[in-house]
Amino acid sequence: MTIQWFPGHMLETQNLLKKAISKVDAVLEILDARLPEASANPFVNKICNGKFRLKVLNKNDLADPEQTKLWLEYFKKKEGTSAISICGTQKVQAYEALNYCVNKIDRNRARKIKVMVIGIPNTGKSTILNSLAGKKIANIGDVPAITRHQQRTSLKNNIDIYDTPGILWPVIEPEERAYILAASGAISDTAIDYNDIGFFAATLLIKRYPDLLMQRYSFLKMLPDDELTLIEKIGSARGCLKKGGVVDFQKASEVLIRELRAGKIGRISFETPKDPEHDN
């Protein structure tokens, strides 16, 4: 499956960021802790050259804590890469990330530090900004591309922070990455097929988190052998049925995906540093 979801405002944002990046001192690159590599936009590497950049693995309250620890170790080993894990709704943790970034900047105390927050849709950029400000100054939601324009906010200690719209790239490849982004909610649901994403998520959960599956869906007497059976059982138990009692796989897949995104199945990670594409 190749996903192409690149609304017009994302192209505008790319042009905006190219101009704005030269005016800031550092960058907070917000990633989803459940998918730190898949949620990293290759475009950011091109425009952050020469700027201190901190990879912020946000939503660590939804991610598998053991995998998050491994990801931090993975990034630590990469030359010139700094990373931290936080829950963006927690003000203390949000400031921990900001202060880490600020302390890496050489500056004249008389002038303001300018920090840009950047990342793909639905990684929690606006949530972090609201936590730093101590009030709602940016729209948040569980759908991608809520923020549409660059926003500047003045914080204490002479710091200006810039929130920017989430941007993807025109063609998302490889296929595995597209599925991971879709399952996490980074891509608009109008651009995906719930059946495809549901089957992908079911396969991942059966393979990596069988215990969490059994705990969440207590009606399962034993772990299903395949994704089709799992979704069928979820649909039957949750009333996702068509006429004649036939399971509606589209609706059953929606149930699975929504509960997965909300953390109701448990703390899971969609990718690990030991996956073939990262294990080097």
Question: What's the confidence (pLDDT) of residue 237?
Answer: 96
pTM (two decimals): 0.88
Residue 10's alpha-carbon distances to 57, 164, 167, in angstroms, are: 22, 11, 5
pLDDT < 70 positions in the chain: 1-13, 109, 138-150, 169-171, 190-191, 276-280
Beta strands in 37-191 (DSSP E): 52-58, 82-85, 113-118, 151-155, 159-163
Q: 74-105 burial, b if ≥16 CB within 10 A, otherwise e?
A: bbeeeeeebbbbbbbbeeebbbebbebbbeee
Euclidean distance between CA atoms 83 and 103, whole angstroms? 14
Tokens of 217: 């869906």
CATH number of 193-261: 1.10.1580.10
Specify the CATH class of 8-163 in words: alpha beta
* Residue 86 · residue 60 · CB < 8 Å: yes
Pinpoint the residues of the chain covered by CATH 3.40.50.300.
8-163
**230-246 per-position pLDDT tens digit:** 999 999 999 999 999 99
Question: What's the confidence (pLDDT) of residue 142?
Answer: 43
Q: How are beta strands 151-155 and 159-163 bridged, if at all? A: antiparallel
Question: What's the confidence (pLDDT) of residue 144?
Answer: 40
**139-155 per-position pLDDT tens digit:** 544 444 434 456 788 99
Question: What's the confidence (pLDDT) of residue 138?
Answer: 60
- Other beta carbons within 10 Å of 38: 22
Question: What's the confidence (pLDDT) of residue 278?
Answer: 59
Question: What's the confidence (pLDDT) of residue 80?
Answer: 84
Q: 3-state DSSP call for residue 229? A: helix
Pinpoint the residues of the chain covered by CATH 1.10.1580.10.
193-261
